[in-house]
Amino acid sequence: MKKVVDTQGQSLLLTRPIEASQACASFLIEKGISCEIAPMMEYIDISHEKPEQGVYNAYIFTSAQGITSFHGDEFDVPVFCVGNKTADTARARGYRRVYNAQGDLEALVALIKEQLNKAARMLYVRGQDVSKDIVSVLDGYDCDEIVSYEARFVDRMPDEICHLIRNGHIWGVSFFSKRTALNFLSLAQKAQLLESLEKIKCLCISQGVVECVHAVSWGEVRAARTPNLDGMYALINEITSTGD
């Protein structure tokens, strides 16, 4: 757990891996929103071979972590990214031809089919576990895969976070994936925190995550209108600006 800021007695709890949570916290703190960080998982790079030069016509990325853990260095190869964060990370890494689906996997697949024909050979760089198999959705396209990282669950809720939740210092918890939400609930149950969640808002990146969190009682459960970082920021802004 990394404490970011503690103002006005209550904070939003961020549960993404540490670097992603720190980036979110920096953005939100500038907006006057106090944050605490308790990552529910950590990323571990997986060793893989660097793709041969000139083999692929495009790379596909569905997470920023896929880009940072990938060994490829052909920066003129077009890259297809699921959303803004992934696209920004690709540009920062040095890729010069970045296509941003600005949405979810369905939008990404539609963008790929719009820009590439079935003669193109693609490489999908992904984590060990994925929510949807994009290769099967791209049936008929020549698409290889490389697993460049894995996400490992943490096995204990930090003591300070337990204290903050029990004593009413957390007004909301944000979840960006089903796996993160489920691990949080598992750890909350072990720490006997479930009753304390009844006064806390649950902020979900998508309706799919909403379905995972209804096993316990929350003060309120809300889903972002769009399943991406901008959608989550908009939801947080909506709640904090209206005083909900």
Domains and CATH numbers, the chain: 2-40+154-242 (3.40.50.10090), 44-151 (3.40.50.10090)
Residue 57 contacts residue 51 (beta carbons within 8 Å) = no
User: Whole-number mean pLDDT of the chain?
Assistant: 92
Q: How confident is the model at residue 48 (pLDDT cuts 50, 70, 90)?
A: very high
What is the structure's pLDDT at 8?
62
Using the predicted structure, report yes or no on whether residue 77 has a pLDDT greater than 70. Answer: yes
Using the predicted structure, report yes or no on whether residue 197 has a pLDDT greater than 50. Answer: yes
Using the predicted structure, report yes or no on whether residue 72 has a pLDDT greater than 60. Answer: yes
163-188: per-residue pLDDT in tens?
999 999 999 999 999 999 999 999 99
Using the predicted structure, report yes or no on whether residue 5 has a pLDDT greater than 50. Answer: no
Residue 31 contacts residue 132 (beta carbons within 8 Å) = no
Strands 170-175 and 2-3: unpaired
Using the predicted structure, report yes or no on whether residue 220 has a pLDDT greater than 70. Answer: yes
The stretch 224-242 carries a mean pLDDT of: 90
What is the structure's pLDDT at 154?
96
Q: How confident is the model at residue 57 (pLDDT cuts 50, 70, 90)?
A: very high
What is the structure's pLDDT at 133?
82
The pair of three-digit structure tokens given for residue 90, joined into one six-digit string:
């690709």
Strands 98-100 and 79-81: parallel
Instruction: Round to whole Å and give the CA distance between 244 and 180.
Output: 24
Using the predicted structure, report yes or no on whether residue 131 has a pLDDT greater than 80. Answer: no
DSSP-derived secondary structure letter, 52? P
Angle separating helix axes 229-242 and 84-93, nearest 10 degrees: 130
What pTM does this model have? Answer: 0.74
Residue 179 contacts residue 41 (beta carbons within 8 Å) = yes
88-130: per-residue pLDDT in tens?
999 999 999 999 998 788 899 999 999 999 999 999 999 998 8
The stretch 157-164 carries a mean pLDDT of: 97
The residue among 105 and 2 whose pLDDT is bigger is: 105
Q: In what order do the strands lie in the sheet with 170-175?
A: 2-3, 35-37, 11-14, 170-175, 201-204, 220-223
Cα angle, residue 35 at apex, residues 34 and 37 outer, rounded to 5° = 165
Positive or negative, the CA dihedral 223, 86, 242, 162 is positive
The stretch 61-67 carries a mean pLDDT of: 93
Using the predicted structure, report yes or no on whether residue 17 has a pLDDT greater than 80. Answer: yes
Instruction: Round to whole Å and give the CA distance between 79 and 164.
Output: 42
Grouping H, G, I as helix, E, B as strand and the rest as coil, residue 236 is helix
The stretch 65-92 carries a mean pLDDT of: 94
Buried b (16+ CB within 10 A) or exposed e, 106-122: ebbbebbeeebeeeeeb
Q: How confident is the model at residue 3 (pLDDT cuts 50, 70, 90)?
A: very low
